[in-house]
Amino acid sequence: MNGSVHYFFRGVVALMFLASGLPAEDSSEADQAPSKTSEFDPIQKEDYAKIPSFFYFDYKGDPQPGKRLWLRVDERSWIERYPNGLESRFKMVGRAVIKGTTGTIVVKVEGNPAKTLVPNDGRFQCFIADKESIPPVFAIRWLMPPGMDWRGLAAMKCVH
């Protein structure tokens, strides 16, 4: 995928944030997660009891507004299911504390970028808050230049 396509994806996500009315959160160095997946804390055996196995959130932007279902399929991967049944696969890369909340970082590794508007190269990161987090928030960020800070995308619902 060439650079102009990456900037297109980034622009689409920026427009989604503007359309959703989500505020840009301020950030400090202490609140920022590492930018490389190798710098996240490793997932320990005892962490799996804290990591949800299912949740959904309501998404208002494109593509496909509606419920986004997330299912942990094994100890290393998640599936995101769109309202029309389209699926993307995410790989768990580690643990982090974002804005005072502990959770798991995942990166998109499979799915149709033309339909999801997100590439499969790992530069789109998602934060899945632990089961007991109050409130459980799903957050995202891009690692491509100039990048962005973590932003809450939606409240996680029906967290199990």
What pLDDT, in 10s, does the model give residues 24-54? 333 333 333 334 556 799 999 999 999 999 9
Task: Report whether pLDDT(133) > 50.
Answer: yes
CB burial readout 124-157, b (16+ within 10 A) else e = bbbbbbbbebeebbbbbbbeeeeebbbbbbbebe
- Model confidence over 48-95: pLDDT tens digits? 999 999 999 999 999 999 999 999 999 999 999 999 999 999 999 999
pLDDT at residue 13, rounded to an integer: 41
